[in-house]
Amino acid sequence: GQSLEQPSEVTAVEGAIVQINCTYQTSGFYGLSWYQQHDGGAPTFLSYNALDGLEETGRFSSFLSRSDSYGYLLLQELQMKDSASYFCAVSLRYSTLTFGKGTMLLVSP
Amino acid sequence: NAGVTQTPKFRVLKTGQSMTLLCAQDMNHEYMYWYRQDPGMGLRLIHYSVGEGTTAKGEVPDGYNVSRLKKQNFLLGLESAAPSQTSVYFCASSDPRDNYYEQYFGPGTRLTVT
């Protein structure tokens, strides 16, 4: 089976940098994805790592190390609108996803 | 381009009643998925489909059935609702030919079973 662990909550201030970690135990996967969800709304795709290393998309970056069973999402220049839940997920056959329980990010002024 | 839409947005059922949730996508995606999300939990895969006429079980399929008679629609059925099925249900779609790793989610259906 698959299991992913994330911190339940992270707090930061506007303009800061925050890192959300994700450790996983899985028997095999194609890549690690990150999704954002505001107030129980539709999850939206942020980033995907098929290979080890860093992927950068604007203010967001994501990292994967398969040897360490570890990944993270890095958010820079935090804005109030970044307050949301962030989920890591492993991508399996047919692009199905197994999600972690999510990390609630609270950004304060 | 509406993306992924779900009907209804809210529903309250009594234990033992049945209902069908409808998911529709206008992106010509091959793959479609049904997830449920409970408080403090990530999304869990119920069933998925890799093309018209196909369905497969996900992580938590018990108590649910699905059908994909048309490529753009994916139906989730509850034959005899139970309080444990109170949840938010999300439909998603993706395509292996285009950003295969990205799933597009609908707005969700909030279901309460009393």
pLDDT digits (tens, 9 = 90+) for B60-92: 999 999 999 999 999 999 999 999 999 999 999
Distance from CA of A70 to the nearest CA of B (A): 18
CA distance to partner chain A, nearest, from residue B53 (Å): 16
Nearest CB among A94, A95, A99 relative to B42 is that of A99
User: Coil, strand or helix: which one is A54?
Assistant: strand
pLDDT at residue A106, rounded to an integer = 98
Nearest to B101 among A31, A40, A102 (CB): A31
Residues of A in contact with B31 (CB under 8 A): 94-95
User: For B26-54, what is each residue's pLDDT tens digit?
Assistant: 999 999 999 999 988 889 999 999 999 99
Is there a contact between A92 and B41 (Cβ–Cβ < 8 Å)?
Answer: no
pLDDT in tens, A81-92: 999 999 999 999
Q: Which two tokens stand for residue B110?
A: 């909030």
Indicate the residue of B42, B90, B100 with minimum beta-carbon distance to A102.
B42
Give B111's contacts (C-beta < 8 A, 6+ positions apart): B10, B11, B12, B13, B19, B21, B81, B85, B86, B87, B88, B89
pLDDT for A25-74, tens place per residue?
A: 987 899 999 999 999 899 999 999 999 999 999 999 999 999 999 999 99
Pick B101's closest partner by Cβ from A43, A95, A101.
A95
In the predicted structure, residue B1 carries a pLDDT above the cut 80 = no
Indicate if the pLDDT at residue A17 is higher than 90: yes
Cα separation, B81 vs A51, whole angstroms: 42
Q: Is the CB of A95 less than 8 angstroms away from the CB of B108?
A: no
How many interchain CB pairs under 8 A, A with B? 63
Tell me: pLDDT of A1 over 80.
no
Which residues in chain A are closer than 8 Å to B58, comparing Cβ atoms? 96
What percentage of residues in chain B have a pLDDT greater than 90? Answer: 92
Task: Name every residue whose Cβ is closer than 8 Å to that of residue A68 and which is 6 or more positions away in sequence.
Answer: none
Q: What is the amino acid identity at position B110?
A: R
The pLDDT, as a whole number, for residue A54 is 97
| Distance of alpha carbon A67 from the chain centroid | 18
Pick from A20-29, A80-89, A94-103, B19-28: least confident: A20-29
The confidence score (pLDDT) of residue B45 equals 98
